[in-house]
Structure 1
Amino acid sequence: MVLSATLIRLLRLSSLQSTTTPTTTTQQLRSLQTLIPKSSKSLNSVEPNSIQSTPITTKDNYFATIHYISNIVRRDFFLERTLQKLQLKVTSELVYRVLRSCQKSGIESFRFFNWARNQSRYEPTSVEYEELIRILGRTQNWETMWKVAEQMKKEELTLTPETFSLVIEAYGEHGHVDRAVEVFNRMKGFNCKQTTEVYNSLLLALCEVKNFQGAYALIRRMVRKGGVPDKRTYSILVNGWCSAGKLKEAQDFLEEMSRKGFNPPVRGRDLLIDGLVNAGYLESAKGLVRKMTKEGFLPDIATFNALLGAICSAGEVEFCIDLFRDVCKLGLCPDISSYKVMIPAVSKLGRVDEAFRLLHCSIEDGNKPFPSLYAPILKMLFRLGQFDDAYSFFRDMKVKGYPPNRPVYTMLVKMCCRGGGFVEAANYLVEMTGLNLVPMPQTFDMVTDGLKHCGNHDLAKRIEELEVSIRGI
């Protein structure tokens, strides 16, 4: 019974001393029992028989247990003692999932892993070891990380190139380039191959500190060793040179690699545009894409969308409209991401005809309009005072597009209220609740206050009754 009392106290404190309902407590206790051996009688009497909770699935039980144990690992000072009292059935999957839930708790994750290793019938695999190494690398617990790596080596478990890549990038992000190079060179001692992914990680670390000479030398070594650069290899170095304002060096690099037969998976000018956009040199990117279109060349669709997004964010929507038309005339087929950038941008400017033209083009391309695509047009029509057009357009979208979600209905109610259409707002509120979309309390208040102000007390009372029936207050 002492153990039972301890568990109940832990369950009540597992969410940072937040108030826990009896149903939640029962579910957590049931969750723990899914991983506790049936022979442990001390927990069988913990579940209060008087509490009637809704049945939860085995999957729910399992993940509730993972969440509960993760909270202990992150927050309990005496986590080993607390975990030992739970009499858990420790498995590789359990350890892995708990570690995944504790990404920002390096030393605590290490303590949990050591506790798990001492449990009977559990032998850690390379999956758990590597996850722990990644966590320790991200949290800069370098010394402990290498101890774990050496322990893994003693047990003849292999480290994958993916783990080495993450460790190298972690060193690079914190400016420890010399250590990143050291990790790269130590891979042979762990019998791990230096793959393209590993080269890219070290390349990124070198570019972080603007060591472009070293980065270029690394690529030459990669080619000499038989490695094949991929899109990320080119992107890292081109982005680095562009961010440093070295556009000529980036162009020379692409030309040299092309002469050697290592053409990038995407065209060089697309990489340059991406690099200029990422570095914030929008005017240079605009000039380069303009030059391309005049010569009759089309940018890659992903590059084009990134450029559109950056230029629209900078407020140059008119340039984007002209560019969009030009590339479409040349044969570029915009995708849904293109319309997701353009429609909100032109709607914000109040360009009604352009917004509807883009929406119709999107539908003709086979895209069914979704809420975040037609909501900006709705908002534009309300802002321009075209209420009848807005209502008609909304009815049309309910038929042709995806069903409106709660944000769209909330925006619709708010816009109706701002325009004095409180009866219409009330109708949309009722329609919203009929679709099991529960409005926020302030949305109800906005409508009822407006109706009362207009003298429509009967409808206001019905809206208040609707809120009570939904919320039970």
Structure 2
Amino acid sequence: MAFTRSSKTFFFSFNLLQRRTCSSSTPQPQPQLFNAETICRILSANPTSTVDASLANIPVQMSPELAVDVLKKLSNAGVLALSFFRWVEKQQGFKHTTESFHELIESLGKIRQFKMIWTLLSEMNRKKLLTRETFSLVSRRYARARKVKEAVEAFEKMEQYGMKPQVSDFNRLIDVLCKSKSVEKAHEVFDKMRQRKIVPDLKTYTILLEGWGTQGNLLRVDEIRREMESEGFEPDVVTYGIVMNAYCKAKKYDSAVGFYHEMVEKGVRPSPHIYCTLINGLGSDKRLNEALQFFEMSKASGFLPEGPTYNAVVGAYCWSTKMEDAYRVVGEMKELKIGPTSRTYDIILHHLIKAQRNQEAYSIFRRMSSEFGCEPSVSTYEIMVRMFCNEGRLEMAMEVWDQMKSKGILPGMHMFSSLIGSLCNESKVDEACRYFQEMLDMGIRPPAQLFSSFKQALIYEGMENTAIHFALKLDKLRKTPLIA
């Protein structure tokens, strides 16, 4: 991909500095500090180059904190993240931390490079950087890949490394399984935990409550709640928040409001999160007046104004298609200095696009970059790329894509799917090939449905050899583990 204007300016300035320095007798400048965005922008501008080549002539002074920031930004690019990780450890005086290993494991887990992950764990063990959280992270990546059996086995390997599981470790595993929609398995782990005479604490029950709540299984929610109370755990504000959220997700808003009154009667003071939950729930059901009543109650409760609560109010107005009122609340957030953030605007963008007010959505998107704290996130770019793809305005989708890359933000699998799928539908197979190759270069495995559509588009255009070429590449990506 071609350099953006900002990248060209950067390289021109740096080359000019080099020439001036080399032609004078003044000492060489000390290494400059580059932020993570700059480094990622350079790497994404040279997708076919090695990290060594991309960063060879740049005086980067790396710190562990900066390395972690870069790895976070490369979370959707596992192959590039590994290359950067190995490059940075060769820099003079640099040593990786537990956190930098964790960020790389997170990135590699997204592309299912589990053999490489276990190689990293062995390395961490030699360097005495392994922690209990490491095993929780590996379990999470397995669970997200729907490898539930392997997730539990990763947890059990803790003991091989001299770490006897404690209640906090079980809590992390149960949480991982619940968040990966494997709540039945999480409940099995809960039962095994008690068989091993490890006593669940309030957090254990809270995690299970939330797990069953996200599944919409209110019978199990009530069952866990009763069991908690029988074990002597009185519901606290967190418990009530989870129960209310479960009932809101099940669209039983009156019951959720009933739990609010119950907690108040029992002397449990509602938190901002409680009000946020009810405003979100009632707002999504277009019960705007009731949502606003809880907003006023939250303000009267003496809590300082918080961004999430105001975001919920913005969303409530949006659900009722009162966009001018939503914009007014954004203005209040600015006056109170609690936002807005990219999350605030993502909510507005979602509803504008849903209402087919796409031009207005694009105007807001363009304005975001100029507002402090509102720079578009990867989710914002995904919203806009999908919007333009659905409109059939693929040139605009690719323009937004390039803008994202120029900011050092790397796309995830869903963004690739939207753009490649739309390009195939419009018979723009050359462009589709370019983005498909970029996805493979990042180590991202396309969903089966996307590859099937891509292959059919190539065959339809008489490009059978290209289809075979990409099929072989994809097969190699699936079968070949990364090498450190």
TM-score interval, normalised by the smaller of the two chains: 0.5 to 0.7
Q: What SS is found at the alignment partner of 2:34?
A: helix
Amino acid at match of 1:186: K
Within-5 A mapping of 1:94-105: 95-105=67-77
Partner residue of 2:5 out of 19, 31, 34: 19
Aligned to 2:273: 302
Aligned to 2:305: 336
Distance change (3 Å), C-alpha of 1:243 and 1:68: closer
Distance change (3 Å), C-alpha of 1:112 and 1:288: closer
Amino acid at match of 1:144: M
Aligned to 1:77: 48
1:100 deviates by 3.0
Mapped to 2, the partners of 1:193 and 1:113 lie a distance apart of 30
Mapped to 1, the partners of 2:108 and 2:290 lie a distance apart of 47
TM-score w.r.t. length of structure 1? 0.54
Mapped to 2, the partners of 1:128 and 1:115 lie a distance apart of 13
Larger Rg: 1
Partner residue of 1:131 out of 94, 103, 107: 103
Distance change (3 Å), C-alpha of 1:180 and 1:279: farther
- 8 Å contact kept, 1:166–1:201: no
Mapped to 1, the partners of 2:333 and 2:83 lie a distance apart of 51
Distance change (3 Å), C-alpha of 1:95 and 1:373: closer
Q: What SS is found at the alignment partner of 2:237?
A: coil
Q: Map Cα deviations across residues 363-400 of structure 1 (whole Å, 9 max, x no partner).
A: xxxxxx9863289xxxxxxxxxxxxxxxxxxxxx9xxx
1:136 deviates by 1.2
Say yes or no: does 1:257 pair with 2:216.
Answer: no
Amino acid at match of 1:45: R
Say yes or no: does 1:373 pair with 2:332.
Answer: yes
Q: Map Cα deviations across residues 278-331 of structure 1 (whole Å, 9 max, x no partner).
A: 454434424544666788976444223211222123211233356678x689x9
- 8 Å contact kept, 1:161–1:197: no
Mapped to 1, the partners of 2:57 and 2:177 lie a distance apart of 47
Q: What SS is found at the alignment partner of 1:199?
A: helix
Aligned to 2:83: 111
* Identical pairs, percent: 22
CA RMSD of aligned residues (A): 4.8
Q: What SS is found at the alignment partner of 1:78?
A: coil
Mapped to 2, the partners of 1:311 and 1:62 lie a distance apart of 48
Gaps of 5+ in 1: 1-12, 31-42, 50-57, 356-368, 376-396, 406-435, 438-473
Aligned to 1:158: 129
Mapped to 1, the partners of 2:333 and 2:123 lie a distance apart of 56
Amino acid at match of 1:150: S
Distance change (3 Å), C-alpha of 1:110 and 1:225: farther
Aligned to 1:447: none
Aligned to 1:45: 19
Bigger relative contact order, structure 1 or 2 (CA pairs below 8 A, ≥6 apart): 2
Mapped to 2, the partners of 1:211 and 1:18 lie a distance apart of 44
Distance change (3 Å), C-alpha of 1:139 and 1:278: farther
TM-score w.r.t. length of structure 2? 0.53
- 8 Å contact kept, 1:234–1:264: no
Distance change (3 Å), C-alpha of 1:117 and 1:323: closer
- Shifted more, 117-126 versus 236-245: the winner is 117-126
